[in-house]
Chains A and B, each alone.
Chain A
């Protein structure tokens, strides 16, 4: 019975695999995309522009008329839009497949401190969800473990890979700390939770544990220990700047505490994730050089009395406050929903952010915040040819329509299982 079941599963898996697009081979000939509107991600746009790339690297960006050299393949993109690949920070793509089926989830370890847990070890490059996200222009993602206080170590992945090793763009680049909530609401009207005092005591105990952990990690990093402590070892590079500390916090008071704490501990690179109240503490964030990965803009206000539009206006508020930020999509149903990342940027542009800035918030600024802007995030000579062509405005749901996509110059095989099902059933014969 068990064997039969196993065989059935294996059979099913084989069918599904067939429905997944095959990862693209490395770029061989040079390619020029010409005639389209080129959005570079830096803020600059070329109408009737062109992008040329060879061996995975861009060697031309500018107006189409200015192209001097010859290319093996020319893609005519007149009337279309060319974008750098969108970048999804703080995501769990590849760490889970079906929310309700525990066996398909590899997001979270128990325990409070798990910096040693690496997303790169579990990333499922052949997830059925990934092609659907890619199809909307999201080509890179920061894959992040979820969990308690310190959830683990994230890596930056490109979304067209044979396996997890193949997918890595930047391995083990950050540690994620979920700052303890300052205003946790426990219990409810019929069953009051713990008292305020108990909650406060618990929180201050937790904060104490975080402090102790960081103090030990800092001391460990400064020494040359004769045995390996996996947790502290994982923390080591926070103090050298080779890893970024991503602190997840939303309320003003939490952000304030978290940022001051991290700086006091000597953490070099610091990024705030969530940041619902970041605009309220902007001077502090500027002063401490903290970038922000904003919470999913398509959310409800966090407080009853807030402006219903406040979540949508957060990017404009941060921009106005002089902070650098990018847009995240974490939260409920985040994996399948993350294909909507472009539309968060679209929403931001409806609520006070300029269109180029909105684009930047899912391209260049995202790359910079994640530390991969040397290669990714914008269309500039010398950078990776990670880009796509959309037939229309990719930030609007009506016109986001991916025609070609490239990661490191590799020409992606379009489609997803969803598109196959569409084609299959739309032609189901009438009975």
Chain B
């Protein structure tokens, strides 16, 4: 492996007796600079590693390496000696997530890399940071000034980003500064500057990456005989490197880990610093994290109207984000820090100090800046601690690194010195008495120590300061000022020498008329005036940061919870029960639930008899006058989805999965629960004829994405017809199909390909083991695989549709290709072809009364559901809309008005019928013994405009309770008040604040494009 070879070369170099100062193979103009003068740092407090500190110790370096570290190091003759009495010496810090030297490409100037590459430019796995790295002087300086001497740099562009290189910030040539040319490989969910349209959504990015990994396997297994591809080549071999995934939010961190799991890859996950939101889940992945040293700013909440726009989630985030590293550490997680995302790397210190104030152990913090990244990227023999043989990467500071008034004086990277702030003895700043021949003036030196500014005035009274020009070159000082205001006839110019650790300056001066005289300046006091105040402010803020914080809520909004409710054993007494079963509407009935299932339905249930063997305690709910139904099932919903519902960039995207991008924290899930909804089909949008795979979830509010999925639910996929797929109402008109004629052919093309694919796979699977060995396995194609599942009946279609012609067209395609169209959704002209739908056994899922929003819905009528129902179609009513989704009971009621559907049949359209359409009716959709305890208790007939959901149970767990909601609101209000008080205090103590911004989350609809609603 090239990496290993390179490293052993380096180690070899360390052990060699002669140190090489410069690149070995470069001709030198003149005599060679051969002497490697050792440098000794003595009397320092040496922080060898996060665990080990030596006082009054010595560090000896030579060239780019550390020679020796200890309390009894002999300083060789001929060494340059730095006395660091009172100062601290630290290992250079490492930033493992940087794009230093690899600036982003501009999308405008994007050029396709030459050569044989992956078809999609977001898969840029052949990118090699080491081959592209070009030093960036200014950014390097800024990082060095904060003690960072090594970065792991990669090009932050694309989904597969290629390799990263470990770079020393010594400022030599790339050949010398690149310590490990292939230190890591990098991935993300963002396609970056790739001009390819695909992918345009998060689920598309995930699908593309997944397919690329499968393609890489195929490539290695023999695909390379068929086609050449530098990216697949790279993708197959870089999987042995430490893999970094630029994930971001807690949800994305989990998603990245999930993708990794599929391919047996463990990523190092770059988080947003919000892992605390789902800490247990994230730690369970076992992945190390990279956390930004960036904390959310406080909001200005002084005006209560402004404060209305700050959500509880934002308030809590502000308070909890600094506790993130401490929580991870406490729970045994591993993390490194990065300065990525900071406008000024110097901002890392206030953030870090706040994290320490919030309980992060200093040693852990230091490790996250040194040894952890060194370990993660297999560079412990190079960097991370102050030990013999390692890079001479040192940081000299005045105090402990994390102290508020610490000053970073110097960094040494690979033995190369850089002074950031002169050490105290050299600090010229302060107030001096300036003795000139004829007068004693006051001299004040201020400003940054490296760039001091001077001014003089008469000693007495409040005479104004006169600006002077000061320049200090080593021990030589030059100073001149216009003397008119100070009793001189003109300019006075001084030259002198600094002595006695800067307390005395003296030398010769020349007056306005050319006369020479001696001068001296005696320091009266150093410049600490400003610092006192700063220190006070720090103390005030620190005390605020140290206060105990609130708990993490799941999810982090007013309706989040700290404690998940359990399944209940409950009997509802004396309710009007809409069984949706043979018993129809039962009055004065009892329903008992136990262990997440409906245990019994009947009149005057004897609960003791229900559980004869065990002593189950059954709680009673008096439901007299109330109605009990099964939970509402929304067959067509886009709630709880992150970053895009459409991957409409290609006509066929059967490979994308909504299940990859569930957002369990979406407040709309809670709103839906409050409207009696227990199950939703999260559908891909309708931007293309064959969209993505659906996800079927139960609204287990507070749980994570995986826990919301319905176990054993059949696979579904979204198809679409009509105006959306032919891009009638969009700006672009260039993707095939543009007509309903083209749509038909897209289906034929897809299913012919899928049929051949299935045959190829079946043929290979059926080979004898011996023949199998000799045959190259067919490439796994996730798109065709999903389509092939439709052909076998393992995956069901939900097809967005409007006009009768397109409905009949798809039925024809299905008949001729041998598959079934499970559900036509929207199907607003379903009433025109109801008998055809019924004959084909298609389910229909429609709106109660939508129309007139597109040309193709001008014949839509609210009687659609009634007509289709009458003609024998299984009819569902769906929302496609977060708002309507929470009052589907009212939508069902509309079918009573429009077309006179019987109330019980109307009710089934939002419960049992969608359960049938989703092939879940054996478990859900009716109130019958043995079914899932997904129940809603209503204040009255659920079709009544005045009906309210009082309780919503999912699997016997009460995820919504109208009365409990009030307590929750009180709790949230108190939490909010506490946080506002704290934020006000922080502002008063000097914390920066930003103005409130309304966070109005957009709502997804079928035709929403892009990653933002």
Which single member of B884, B947, B995, B1000 contacts A200 (CB below 8 Å)?
B995
User: Do A398 and B943 have beta carbons less than 8 Å apart?
Assistant: yes
User: Do A253 and B897 have beta carbons less than 8 Å apart?
Assistant: no
Residue of B nearest to A96 (CB): B852
Residues of A within 8 A of B558 (CB): 304-306
User: Do B890 and A397 have beta carbons less than 8 Å apart?
Assistant: yes
User: Do A100 and B309 have beta carbons less than 8 Å apart?
Assistant: no
A350-B311 contact, Cβ under 8 Å, with A253-B306, A426-B867: no
A252-B897 contact, Cβ under 8 Å, with A98-B854, A304-B1001: no
Residues of B within 8 A of A400 (CB): 897
A422-B867 contact, Cβ under 8 Å, with A184-B998, A350-B946, A397-B897: yes
Q: Cα distance A256–B308 when bound, in Å?
A: 14
> Does B671 reach chain A (CB closer than 8 Å)?
yes
> Does B135 reach chain A (CB closer than 8 Å)?
no
- Which 7 pairs show the lowest CB-CB distances between chains A and B? A305-B558, A346-B945, A350-B946, A183-B998, A422-B863, A336-B852, A99-B853
User: Do B859 and A421 have beta carbons less than 8 Å apart?
Assistant: yes
Residues of A within 8 A of B886 (CB): 300, 308
* Proximity bits, B874-911, A CB within 8 Å = 1, else 0: 00000000111011001001101101000100000000
> Does B668 reach chain A (CB closer than 8 Å)?
yes
> Does B73 reach chain A (CB closer than 8 Å)?
no
Count how many pairs of residues, one from A and one from B, have CB atoms less than 8 Å apart in the complex: 173
Q: Cα distance A97–B883 when bound, in Å?
A: 23
User: Do B832 and A428 have beta carbons less than 8 Å apart?
Assistant: yes
Q: Cα distance A422–B896 when bound, in Å?
A: 14
User: Do A349 and B946 have beta carbons less than 8 Å apart?
Assistant: yes
* Proximity bits, A92-105, B CB within 8 Å = 1, else 0: 00000111110000
Q: Cα distance A396–B850 when bound, in Å?
A: 18
Q: Cα distance A167–B213 when bound, in Å?
A: 66
* Proximity bits, B189-215, A CB within 8 Å = 1, else 0: 010000000000000000000000000
CB distance from B191 to the nearest CB of A (A): 11
User: Do B882 and A300 have beta carbons less than 8 Å apart?
Assistant: yes
Residue numbers of A with Cβ under 8 A of B are 97-101, 128-129, 181, 183-185, 188-190, 196, 200, 251-253, 256, 277, 280, 298-309, 333, 335-337, 339-340, 343, 346-347, 349-350, 395-401, 418-419, 421-422, 425-426, 428, 430-431
Residue of B nearest to A99 (CB): B853
CB distance from B852 to the nearest CB of A (A): 4
21 contacts between A and B (CB under 8 A): A98-B855, A99-B852, A183-B306, A190-B1011, A251-B308, A253-B306, A304-B311, A307-B965, A333-B850, A337-B850, A346-B946, A350-B947, A397-B897, A397-B945, A398-B896, A398-B897, A398-B903, A398-B943, A400-B897, A426-B863, A430-B835
With A300-B883, A304-B999, A397-B893 already in contact, 16 other A-B pairs whose C-beta atoms are closer than 8 Å: A98-B855, A100-B723, A100-B854, A101-B854, A128-B858, A185-B998, A298-B884, A305-B311, A305-B313, A308-B671, A308-B886, A309-B674, A396-B946, A398-B944, A421-B861, A425-B834
Interface size, B (range): 35 or more
Residues of A within 8 A of B882 (CB): 300
Residues of B within 8 A of A300 (CB): 668, 671, 882-883, 886, 1003
User: Do B998 and A303 have beta carbons less than 8 Å apart?
Assistant: yes
Which single member of B309, B668, B852, B1011 contacts A129 (CB below 8 Å)?
B852
Q: Cα distance A395–B945 when bound, in Å?
A: 8
Residues of A within 8 A of B309 (CB): 183, 251, 303
CB distance from B804 to the nearest CB of A (A): 10
Q: Cα distance A196–B995 when bound, in Å?
A: 7
Residues of A within 8 A of B943 (CB): 397-398
User: Do A251 and B945 have beta carbons less than 8 Å apart?
Assistant: no
Which single member of B894, B899, B995, B999 contacts A422 (CB below 8 Å)?
B899
A98-B858 contact, Cβ under 8 Å, with A196-B995, A397-B894: yes
Residues of A within 8 A of B997 (CB): 183-185, 196
> Does B870 reach chain A (CB closer than 8 Å)?
yes
Residues of A within 8 A of B972 (CB): 305
Residues of B within 8 A of A280 (CB): 305, 308
> Does B318 reach chain A (CB closer than 8 Å)?
no
Q: Cα distance A307–B559 when bound, in Å?
A: 9
A350-B852 contact, Cβ under 8 Å, with A304-B313, A305-B311: no
Residue of B190, B559, B834, B944 with most partner-chain A CB within 10 A: B944
CB distance from B246 to the nearest CB of A (A): 12
> Does B969 reach chain A (CB closer than 8 Å)?
yes
Q: Cα distance A397–B896 when bound, in Å?
A: 8
Residue of B674, B890, B1003 with most partner-chain A CB within 10 A: B890
User: Do B999 and A97 have beta carbons less than 8 Å apart?
Assistant: no
Residue of A nearest to B730 (CB): A100
> Does B234 reach chain A (CB closer than 8 Å)?
no
User: Do A98 and B852 have beta carbons less than 8 Å apart?
Assistant: yes
User: Do A422 and B861 have beta carbons less than 8 Å apart?
Assistant: yes
* Proximity bits, B706-745, A CB within 8 Å = 1, else 0: 0000000000000000010000110000000000000000
Q: Cα distance A336–B832 when bound, in Å?
A: 21
Q: Cα distance A137–B108 when bound, in Å?
A: 56
Residues of A within 8 A of B834 (CB): 425, 428
User: Do A183 and B996 have beta carbons less than 8 Å apart?
Assistant: yes
B 929-950 contacts with A by CB, 8 A: 943-948
Residues of B within 8 A of A309 (CB): 674
User: Do A100 and B855 have beta carbons less than 8 Å apart?
Assistant: yes
Residue of A nearest to B994 (CB): A196
CB distance from B161 to the nearest CB of A (A): 16
Residues of A within 8 A of B312 (CB): 304-305
User: Do A101 and B896 have beta carbons less than 8 Å apart?
Assistant: no
Residues of B within 8 A of A421 (CB): 831, 859, 861, 863
CB distance from A98 to the nearest CB of B (A): 6
Residues of A within 8 A of B976 (CB): 305
Residues of B within 8 A of A350 (CB): 945-948
Residues of A within 8 A of B303 (CB): 253
B 854-871 contacts with A by CB, 8 A: 854-855, 858-859, 861-863, 867, 870
Q: Cα distance A99–B899 when bound, in Å?
A: 26
* Proximity bits, B609-645, A CB within 8 Å = 1, else 0: 0000000000000000000000000000000000000
Q: Cα distance A347–B995 when bound, in Å?
A: 36
> Does B1012 reach chain A (CB closer than 8 Å)?
yes
User: Do B893 and A307 have beta carbons less than 8 Å apart?
Assistant: no
Residue of A nearest to B906 (CB): A398
CB distance from B429 to the nearest CB of A (A): 34
> Does B433 reach chain A (CB closer than 8 Å)?
no
Residue of A nearest to B947 (CB): A350
> Does B704 reach chain A (CB closer than 8 Å)?
no
Q: Cα distance A186–B197 when bound, in Å?
A: 24
Q: Cα distance A171–B855 when bound, in Å?
A: 31
CB distance from B317 to the nearest CB of A (A): 12
A97-B852 contact, Cβ under 8 Å, with A308-B670, A397-B897: yes
Q: Cα distance A127–B302 when bound, in Å?
A: 50
Q: Cα distance A428–B998 when bound, in Å?
A: 52
Which single member of B668, B854, B945 contacts A99 (CB below 8 Å)?
B854
* Proximity bits, B283-323, A CB within 8 Å = 1, else 0: 00000000000000000000101101101110000000000
Residues of B within 8 A of A196 (CB): 994-995, 997
Residue of B nearest to A421 (CB): B861
Residues of B within 8 A of A97 (CB): 852
Residues of A within 8 A of B835 (CB): 428, 430-431
Residues of A within 8 A of B557 (CB): 304-305
Residues of A within 8 A of B687 (CB): none
Q: Cα distance A336–B853 when bound, in Å?
A: 8
A252-B998 contact, Cβ under 8 Å, with A336-B851, A422-B863: no
A396-B996 contact, Cβ under 8 Å, with A301-B671, A431-B835: no
Q: Cα distance A193–B997 when bound, in Å?
A: 12
Residue of B190, B313, B870, B995 with most partner-chain A CB within 10 A: B995
Q: Cα distance A398–B896 when bound, in Å?
A: 5
Residue of A99, A306, A347, A422 with most partner-chain B CB within 10 A: A422
Residues of A within 8 A of B884 (CB): 298
User: Do A302 and B883 have beta carbons less than 8 Å apart?
Assistant: no
